[in-house]
Structure 1
Amino acid sequence: MTSDPTITLFGEKRLKNVNSLLVWSDKLSQFDPDHQEAVRFLHGLEADFDQLRQATAYEQTSPCFPLKCQIITHTIQDAIDILRRQTLFSSDEVGQVLKMIAHHIGRLSLSKQQGVDLYAEHMDRMTRKIDASWKSRKLRAPQPQAENERRQEKLQEIWDRLHFALPDCACLQCSRES
């Protein structure tokens, strides 16, 4: 990281959000998780992430940064709704959604230069591997539309919504994806 206090604070908050999401992803994968507690956590995360989003006023932010933050916020809200209704996805699958959010928060960066935000670059490499895995699932021959298969397709849609490149954006992530 750099010695710029804004970037340092951003990195610390980003890491806190990522770690919290990964912990809750694991909790939701366990037997009989507390959905109400998970909803409270996600509401708090939404507020914390909104503070992290305030970094969009930072002059070095890439053009894609505000849109990526907005999509992450909407995905957090979707996870809250899914947990409240307890339909569509199992707790374990909501945990997968939280991991997706964690990876995409982790790859957010205020820096446009390679070698400055090593954590974001690490998370970007991880998301590229995960994206390759999702793409390979798409290429497999479609099987009969079982309920599980439909849920996997919905998870794929969430991943695709989070993992995108903004045309004409020169940030490291978008330039790699295009």
Structure 2
Amino acid sequence: MTTNSNVTNSSPRSHRDYYTALYQAALTISSSLELDQVLQSVVTSTTEAMQVKACGLRLLDPDTGQLRLSAVYGLSGSYLAKGPVDVVHSAIDSEALRGSPVFIPDARDDQRFQYKGAAKEEGIVSVLCVPLEVHGEAIGVMRVYTSEPTTFHEDDIQFLSVLASLAALAIDNARLYENIRSSYNGVMSALWGTHMNP
């Protein structure tokens, strides 16, 4: 089998690893309301199952137009401190937030990637980015990074998209729980506030 000297075709990842990671993510989401713990588990499982350098999950702040880091595995502190990720300056994220997976073969010289110099210093080459969607609305993105030129297959894209959907579900559940708890506390304060705070 021949391969292009500039692109290394990734060997198909193990479906068993993918099933295990999906099962673990679903189990974690169903058994915990600790959102930080759930999202950290998702990015860690993704990195290991896809055999990539790193995975990160960012949520969109609609007030600032920035994607704020919520969970990450495999990236250095110096890379994470490179600066804010602005949707208007990051074509890869803008495209993903419109609902489509985006693949960048080489982030070191692709104009769609906001921090090309930082990617080179970090040893990042290929990037795959998918949207996190809740009720049809994109609320963030999930990315995986490789340290060598990589071709992602359809199975890889589907796997990452499913995990992103599970992460989005966890986020939605956590927000719903927080709203219910706040409403409950508000009702209790209204009922008992005068007795609790004379």
TM-score tier after normalising by the smaller chain length: under 0.3
- How high is the TM-score relative to the length of structure 2? 0.24
- How high is the TM-score relative to the length of structure 1? 0.27
Comparing both chains, which one has the higher relative contact order based on Cα–Cα distances under 8 Å and sequence gaps of 6 or more? 1
Please tell me whether Structure 1 or Structure 2 has the larger radius of gyration of its CA atoms. Answer: 2
Higher helix share: 1
